[in-house]
Amino acid sequence: MAEQEEQNVSSIPIDAISNLRITSIWTFLLSIQWSEAWLIGLVTFHAICLLITFVTFRFYRLQIFHFLVMAGMVYFAENINEIAAMNWRSFSKYQYFDSRGMFISLVFSAPLLLNTIIIVILWIYRTFATMTELKTLQLKRKAKKAKTEKSE
């Protein structure tokens, strides 16, 4: 049995992440070479997406477009993973793109989904603020109408 495990360990390509070292999401994230240019670009992309989310807070249609683009990217993550798995040597030192999609799910889709959740929370906040403002206006009009009828 130990000989078989040694054989399995030695058959792992040098340029792949060993599943034997991965015991949790945290160890998986720590095993990633974050100094690679394309990963720095990906982190920058997520920071820009977050910035756009907050900058477009007052521009509802633009934020809807931003939301739909991010949701579309998550929808096509499996296709992106397949393309990246076939062409990883052209942009990366290591093969991160496994058939289960763990890497793309954690590093690409999860931040985009968190960003879309932030947008939904902002929309709910805006909806409650508008409803509160509307109810306040209704109560003021009702009070003004009652005061006008009282004085007549």
pLDDT tens figures, 109-138: 999 999 999 999 999 999 999 999 999 999
The helix/strand/coil state of 121 is helix
| pLDDT above 90 as % of the chain | 56
pTM above 0.85?
no
The helix/strand/coil state of 16 is strand
- Give the span between the Cα atoms of 60 and 63, in whole angstroms: 5
Mean pLDDT of the chain: 85
The CA-based dihedral angle spanning residues 22, 24, 29, 32, taken in that order and rounded to the nearest 10 degrees: 0
Q: What is the arithmetic mean of pLDDT over 59-72?
A: 95
According to the model, what pLDDT value does residue 21 have? 59
Domain boundaries, the chain: 34-116
Closest C-alpha to 85, from 9, 13, 16: 16
Closest C-alpha to 108, from 55, 44, 46: 46
According to the model, what pLDDT value does residue 11 have? 39
